[in-house]
Structure 1
Amino acid sequence: MTTPAPASIALIGGGPRGVSLIERLGAALRDRADVDLDLHIIDDTQVGAGRTWRTDQVRELCMNTLADAVTLFTDDSVTMTGAVVEGPTMYEWCVLALHAERPSSDTAAVVADIAASHVAAFADVPVRPGLVDEYAAELTGLVPHSHPSRALYGEYLRWCHARAVAMLPGGVRVREHLGRVVAVERSGGREILSLADGREIPADAVVAATGWMPRGATASESALAGPAARRGLLWVRPDSPADQDLAAVPAGAPVIVRGLGMGFYDTMALLTIGRGGRFLESEDGLLRYEASGDEPVLHATSRRGLPFRAKSLYGSLPPRAPQRRLRGVDATRMSRPIDFDADVWPLILRDAFEAYYATLDRVRPGAVTIGLADLVRVIDRAPGHIDALAAAVAPFVPDPRDRFDLRAAIDPVRQTFSGPAAFDAFVRDAIVEDLAEAARGADSPLKAGLWSIASARQPASVLGSFGGYDARSREAGFALLHAAGGMFGSGPPAFRSRQLLALIDAGLVRFVGPAANVTVENGRFHASSADVDGSGVDADVLVDAFMHPHDLRETADPLARSLIDAGRARPFGAPSPGGGAVPTEAFDIDPGTGRLIGRDGSVDPAVHVAGIPLDAALHDTIISPMPRADSTMLRETDRVARSALAIALAAASVPATVRSTA
């Protein structure tokens, strides 16, 4: 008589999503003491933290989210089948760790306010020895609305990983593998994972939670690559800042930087304070930069030409945007595919206009000449377009400076400039004005309106998941929402914008102009903007301070390519208004399980994909889980973990001799 072989699951990717999958497997197995399961976790950098959040990266790199606004634990807001298993947010974990090592009345007061379930979860697994000493300066200064270092977040993830593993039943054997999976092939009724170093791992179910997958060069990059290589120019290609090698960037040299989002601020930090410079604060609160002499001079550009807006200083976590129109939508009564521009975008705009004017009416009584309820009725009756809403409200807001100019916020550079100095001054003034608004916190009408739009990305994404919007909408209003929402809500901490001002004043950061064209001319990189006269700058170094989004159609990832070539994967198709489907960047998956959809439309028997490579299909996959927000990621990891477990356990019930010949 043959006995069944153990069930086996392979998780490709040991970052946040991989950790959450382990935790969700544990939740699904909490009453299964008899389980017999091998759980393989494969990551090419650091199991538990992953590449982006690995703990050995420099501390100058900080998170773009707030310490108390990120968690890896479920709560009763999460729409899922599995059991809720609560645990501490990152901030709570930091306080608990600090109090355990260095108890004080201050930390004791905070610990007393932390939910008992979170404290109990922390008590299950101690933090690693030496952690508090290594991060003492950061931990002692941390508040709920701090932006922690990425390395410290990696430590939190590693602890979440250790706890998730500790909570697994005794019959689950965890095998950690450091390496990169380059192919998955079905053989003998099982999945065989091939690693780059030649190792092979068999499994009954596979989940690819890889995070950012490499993408092939764009056409413009390919055109630039040959001339740059022939002339020996230094080109730092798009990637995570922690993986970009900036060591060869020479001191004092001009450097062209493409991108003015968070990647730019990371590059800026690494090439200034990362090279020994210091920011000093004067008595009047202004920052001054004291150079080390090792800094280059950055000439930055982006499509809009302006840096992302700073996050507001609320002195707490950001307030929840009301968005009563958008959040009041009953998705079950909307016919899919939804016309985003006609049915959703007007709701978002009206919510934003109401948020702006409700704040204005509160902080500047009399600025609006009719009651707020009457103004809301004006907003509701007006056509749901930016210009129409602005025109409808204008008669009731006499001072033009008090009006919500959303058009200017979305498209801030609507003029040409007489030269680089004029454009630099324009950008500097914009940063100063934005910081002033950020300092007003909840009392800034402008930030309230823009935050409403930024916050709309999550509920709008849920409405449009898995083909909820037609292809035309995705390329128009939905794309605009994410572009504008990123600029308004995914910008840097305010202290980074203050640092940027100091670097501008020190002559170490300049701006080329919007949509600068970058070529190789006369043996050097050359960047110039049609909107800024005389904007041309030459440099031997080009830094692309951004990451390409994953695109399955142009993937450079060997694992993704192996699945495509085998017919086990295909791009997700967005419905076309004229019928049919338009291929997108994402993997096509079964929404209920996360299993791949193959070239022939069949659901894969064992391979799942979760996370960022699904963003163009599932949407909202990049944002870290937030407490009490029904996080997309936690909903996803629950259903995918349950599917992988069901497949593995079903396979294990088959005798090994049958499985080997299947």
Structure 2
Amino acid sequence: MTSIAILGLGPRGLNVLERITAYVCNGYSSQPIHLHLIEPGVPGVGIHYDDQPDYLLLNTVASQITMFMDPTVKDAGPLLPGPNMYEWAAGLDDPRYNQCTPNCYLPRRLFGEYLHWVYQYLCRRLDRFCKVTLHKTSAKEVIHRPDQTFSILCDDQTEIDADFLFMATGHSENYPDERDRARIQFVENNRFRNRYLQYVMPGPAPIHTHFKDVPPGATVAIEGMGLTAIDAIASLTVGRGGRFHRNAETGALCYKPSGDEPCLAIISRSGLPLSCRAINQKGASDQYQARFLTADQVRHWKMTKNRGELDFFNDVFPLLLKDMQYVFYTTQATKLYGNSYAHLLGEMLVRLGAEATENLIVNDCPGIELFRWENIANPIDDSALGDPDAYRKWLISFLEQDLHEAQLGNVSGPYKAACDVLRDVRDNLRNAVDFGWLSPESHQQFLRRFIPVMNRLAVGPPVQRLEEMIALYKAGYLDIGFGPNPKVALSEGAAQFQIVSTTFKEQKKSIYADVLCKAQIPKSSPTQDRSALIQNLMKRGLIRPFTNGNVDVGGIEVDDQLNLVTSSGESVPNAWALGTVSEGSKFYTYIVPRPCVNSTALVDAGRSVTTMFRQSLRPPLSEQGHEPGKHSAMGA
């Protein structure tokens, strides 16, 4: 009997389980299989816990989330039909969700329910074909035997033998770094003087659980302006009984406090919140098709360069920028002059260099605005940095303009359509940077200079969240006036955290906070990961951190087949790692699969499982005269 172990059964582990189910139900295994699923929590759910409040939302529309394959997914094996999240939610016997639209943003909790339903759906189909054992525990040790099999020791002392191993352990929870330790020590030393003093490091757990002891009227400083910060704000306002409503005359969103809220301040290095998602006009699967940063171009680089020679800002970024410009200009042209003009302009743009493109737009395209990356990467006017009031006024105007652009849509709105290119061509970008193709110096610049801007432009919250932020500011419950690069000091005298602006020329801004929340997703870092499994695998040399030269990129190293790479640099052909545990070797593993776009999460699971079946269990049917993707296991 062949034994297969999946360590971790969140979304990535579920992708692997779905592929195994499709293969087994279509008769791809000529020998008995025992499938070991090792997961201490609710199977399938990962960090999308079912006890989260409904105000914690996904930031992807329901129709763009799936856990099932489709014909666009290449070389991943047979199809196993199943609903995307919108289709599943619309079929629920629940009036809160069965009237949802394809473009709605559903609660994160409901995504957890969908994932668990997928798990049950798969297990029902597997039941007739192989033995499935769910181990409600965590793996803490894996021994790689001389015969290339594995012995897995779990927290409950269960020992599992496996011929094949899939690591899908999800988000990490890291040890505190030096700055964290100083803040923790500060709280311990001063808590007797300020009983509300608290330092919050949420990690992957839902953030609302960390604020139970924060009293009304306390001041909470939120460090970070990303999705975790959005959740923190919702938890401390709506989660405290506050309510948002529309002004009947102006239509503006307003906030009605409950009286149980703390005072909030939000800070970050950039001083800018994430841009909100535009109204979706692309359905579940429409995407801009790259004209410049194409798959063919990436293949050409890999044929003409060695691994580690690609330069992001010299080679890759100029083509990505041209794709964004192409969409920005043709979208404006369509609105101003119609489809024929826009088509002709597009035909010219693909043939022109950067200088000729700018000359064309300036001299021959009246009314079409130029696209400047520097204006969106660094949009803060110098005039806004004079004092806190000037910055607040500028920032509110900037956010209101972002709301306006979002309402125009991700196809019809030139700005948001251009920013959506960052999502639509992400696979080509991923193929260019995965597995150390960038030079070490370029990889470091990619992480420092490009990723923060890309995140702000392309992976933000729904429109609703940005409206709420503005409403909270206007109601006096959210301070946003610190500008870029504020400083957090530990005030022994006040027994509070002191937040101080650093960039205003004429006037400093300073407040004291009882609670400091580090609203940032922990980096996948094997050397800092609290996981006993990761630490033991490192000690045994079965895994090693991924570095590019002397640059610590993050995650464990996998090769281009997603096999584990040992401390000696050898690939382990029957062990794979998928998802955030390998974030570094792979780029942007955080996203959930999207239907009908050859989603990388589905591709990765399909390739890994296909390789496993080719290695030992049975040649795929495609090698026996059948086409992958043409077989349905729905009736299994």
TM-score (norm 2): 0.87
Q: Could you tell me how far 1:373 is from its partner in structure 2?
A: 4.3
Q: 1:361 to 1:471 in 2, by over 3 A?
A: same
C-alpha distance in structure 1 between counterparts of 2:152 and 2:21, whole Å:
23
Flag structure 2 segments of 5+ consecutive residues without an equivalent.
192-196, 619-636
Q: Does 1:247 align with 2:219?
A: no
1:352–1:450: 8 Å Cα contact kept in structure 2? yes
Q: Secondary structure at the match of 2:431?
A: helix
Partner of 1:528: 500
Matched residue, 2:199: 235
Tell whether 2:448 aligns with 1:484.
Answer: no
Does 2:607 correspond to 1:639? yes
Partner Cα distance (1:391, 1:236) in 2: 52
Q: Secondary structure of 1:640's partner?
A: helix
User: For the residues of structure 1 that align with 2:321 and 2:185, how far apart are their CA atoms?
Assistant: 45
Q: 1:380 to 1:480 in 2, by over 3 A?
A: farther
Match of 1:440 in 2: 408
Q: 1:461 aligns with which of 430, 443, 449?
A: 430
Report the CA distance between 1:234 and its aligned residue. 0.5
Spell out, residue by residue over 1:457-507, the C-alpha distance to the aligned partner (whole angstroms, 9 max, x if none): 332112222122222222224654432221111111001111111111111
Work out whether 1:608 is the aligned partner of 2:576: yes
| Shift in Å, 1:37 | 2.3
User: 2:30·2:617 contact (CA, 8 Å) conserved in 1?
Assistant: no
Seen in structure 2, the aligned counterparts of structure 1 residues 88 and 619 have a Cα distance that, compared at 3 Å, is same
Match of 1:267 among 203, 223, 232: 232
Q: Quick one: which of 172, 175, 179 aligns to 1:216? A: 175
Shift of 1:304: 1.0
| Counterpart secondary structure, 2:126 | coil
Residue 176 (structure 2) pairs with residue 176 (structure 1): no
Q: Does structure 1 retain, via aligned residues, the 8 Å contact 2:171–2:204?
A: no
Percent identity over the alignment? 27
Rate the CA distance shift 1:560–1:7 in 2: closer, same or farther, 3 A: same
SS at match of 2:19: helix
Indicate the residue corresponding to 1:138 in structure 2: 97
Amino acid paired to 1:311: R
Aligned amino acid, residue 138 of structure 1 = Y
2:343 matches 1:348: no
Q: For residues 286-324 of structure 1, what are the alpha-carbon distances to aligned partners after superposition, in whole Å with 9 as ceiling and x for unaligned?
A: 111111111111110112111111111145638522431
Instruction: Answer yes or no: is 1:158 the counterpart of 2:116.
Output: yes
Q: Is residue 570 from structure 1 mapped to residue 565 from structure 2 by the alignment?
A: no
What is the one-letter code of the residue matched to 1:144? Answer: P
Match of 2:27 in 1: 31
1:397, 1:403 within 8 Å by CA — same for their partners in 2? no
- Write out aligned runs for 1:369-380 (5 A): 373=344, 377=348
Amino acid at match of 1:256: A
Answer whether contact 1:305 1:515 (CA < 8 A) is retained.
yes
Per-residue CA deviation, residues 316-364 of structure 1 (Å, 9 max, x unaligned), is 6385224311126333322243222222211111111121111122223
**1:199: how far off?**
3.6
Decide whether aligned partners of structure 1 residues 202 and 647 sit closer, same or farther in structure 2, where only a CA change above 3 A counts: farther
1:81/1:356 CA distance change after superposition, 3 Å? closer
**Residues 86 and 463 of structure 1: is their aligned pair in 2 closer, same or farther, counting only changes over 3 Å?**
farther
Q: Give the one of 523, 527, 540 matched to 1:549.
A: 523
Counterpart Cα distance in 2 of 1:382 and 1:371: 18
Q: How much has 1:552 moved relative to structure 2?
A: 2.3
Tell me how far apart the structure 2 counterparts of residues 278 and 562 of structure 1 sit (CA, whole Å). Answer: 48
SS in 2 for 1:38: strand
Which of 484, 487, 491 is 1:517 aligned to? 487
Q: Does structure 2 retain, via aligned residues, the 8 Å contact 1:279–1:499?
A: yes
Aligned to 2:627: none
- Structure 1 contact 304–514 (Cα < 8 Å) conserved: yes
- Map 1:556-595 to 2 at 5 A: 556-574=530-548, 582-592=551-561, 594-595=562-563
Identify if the C-alpha distance between structure 1 residues 648 and 242 changes in structure 2 by more than 3 Å, giving closer, same or farther.
Answer: farther
Does the aligned pair in 1 maintain the 2:298–2:431 contact within 8 Å? no
In the aligned structure 2, how far is the partner of 1:20 from the partner of 1:477? Answer: 29
SS in 2 for 1:267: helix
Deviation of 1:524 (Å): 1.2
Question: Deviation per CA, 1:579-637, whole angstroms, max 9, x where unpaired?
Answer: xx755312122322x33111112223643211112121122311111111111111111
Which residues of 2 match residues 87-98 of structure 1 at below 5 A? 87-95=82-90, 97-98=91-92
Structure 2 residue aligned with 1:257 = 222
Amino acid at match of 1:624: V
Q: Cα 1:602–1:453, aligned 2, differ >3 Å: closer, same or farther?
A: closer
**In the TM superposition, what is the alpha-carbon distance from 1:455 to its structure 2 partner?**
3.2
Paired letter, 1:272? T
Say whether the 8 Å CA contact 1:9–1:644 is kept in structure 2: no
C-alpha distance 25-453 of structure 1, shift in aligned 2 (>3 A)? closer
In structure 1, distance between residues paired with 2:354 and 2:358? 10
Aligned to 1:497: 466
CA deviation profile, 1:30-89 (whole Å, cap 9, x unmatched): 215764222121223211212x21222211111111111111111121122421223221
**Relative to structure 1, is the Cα distance of residues 303 and 584 closer, same or farther in structure 2, using a 3 angstrom cutoff?**
same
Alpha carbons 1:259, 1:546 under 8 Å: kept: yes
- In the alignment, the residues of structure 2 paired with residue 554 and residue 414 of structure 1 have an alpha-carbon distance, to the nearest angstrom, of 38
Distance 1:154 1:36 in 2: 31
Indicate the SS of the match to 1:443: coil
Aligned residues: 594
Query: Aligned equivalents of 1:629 and 1:378: distance in 2?
Result: 25
Unaligned segments of structure 1, at least 5 residues: 1-5, 99-131, 651-662
Calculate the TM-score normalised by the size of structure 1.
Answer: 0.83
Give the secondary structure class of the aligned counterpart of 2:479.
strand
Partner of 2:385: helix, strand, or coil?
Answer: coil
Distance in 2, matches of 1:513 and 1:92, equals 43
- SS for the counterpart of 1:62 is coil
Distance 1:647 1:194, change over 3 A: farther
